[in-house]
Structures are given as structure tokens and as C-alpha cells.
Amino acid sequence: MLVLALLQFGRRINTLADIKGLELKTYLMAIVAALVALAIAAIWSNAIAFEGGANPADRRKRRLAFWFTAAGLLAAFVGYQMALVVPSVAGRWQGRFFATMTYATLSAVATYVLCGLILSKLFATSKLGNWFGSTRR
């Protein structure tokens, strides 16, 4: 993402071809950001140790780690777009780009949750299986 940010920084988006290229970059970046956030959530969840006893809190901690990472993904992606990309878009194209940014953000969150659900069900007996409360142990 940093490479794309540096390539985009300072470049003014004035034409239809520029805005279409920016839309494609935005959608690709959303998917990459979702997969990176998913990897961070998996590492974070695996770092939480199993707890013994009558009321272990490790499952809840892993679930919270998953959803906090989702909130971080949302904040980081929108923050990046608002701080670095939107200022480079010419005024007449900003409405179109805001729609693109909204759809890209929703697709990033949907990709994150869907891939997280798949991983949680595939690895139901591991630490990742606690993300959505799998019943198998």
C-alpha cells in the first residue's frame, strides 16, 4: 500500500482515464488491505495463549482481536483514502470517487469477514476457530 501511496502522492486526477485507473487501484488495494488485516488477526489470535480453568477468557479475546482488527482495517483504509488520495482528485470527479471509496471499503470489510469465516470453519479446532464461535472442539 505504501508503494501505491507514494506513486499516487502529488499526482492530480483530472481526466476520466485517470479516475478509472484510480478506481481500479482503490478496489485492488481494498482486497490487499483485507488480506493483510486477516493475516494480522491470525497472528494476533495465535499469540493468545490457551487458558485453563472453569471460565477461560481466551475465546473471547480471540474474537475481540478479530473484530478490533476489522475496525482497524476500516479506519486505516478510509483514513488513507481521505488523507492521501482524495486531495489529489479534481473537484468534478470527487463525487464519483467517494462512491468508489465507499464500495471499496465495503468490499474490503466483506472480504475480511468472509475469508475470516472460511478460515474459522476450516480450522474449527484451532485458535482461529474461535473467531465466530465454532461449536466443534
- Give the 3-state DSSP-derived string for 83-103, with helices as H, strands as E and coil as C: HHHHHHECHHHHHHHHHHHHH
Whole-number pLDDT of residue 66: 94
**Average pLDDT in the chain:** 84
Overall pTM > 0.75: yes
Does the pLDDT at position 5 exceed 60? no
Eight-class DSSP state of 21: H
- Quickly state the pLDDT bin for 127 (edges 50, 70, 90): confident
* pLDDT tens digits, 15-59: 778 878 888 999 999 999 999 999 999 999 988 888 777 777 788
Distance CA 21, CA 25 (A): 6
Whole-number pLDDT of residue 36: 96
Share of the chain above pLDDT 90, in %: 42
Distance CA 11, CA 84 (A): 10
Eight-class DSSP state of 59: H
Answer whether 34's CB lies under 8 Å from 108's CB.
yes
Q: How many CA atoms lie within 13 A of 64 on its CB side?
A: 6
* pLDDT tens digits, 66-86: 999 999 999 999 999 888 888
Does the pLDDT at position 14 exceed 90? no
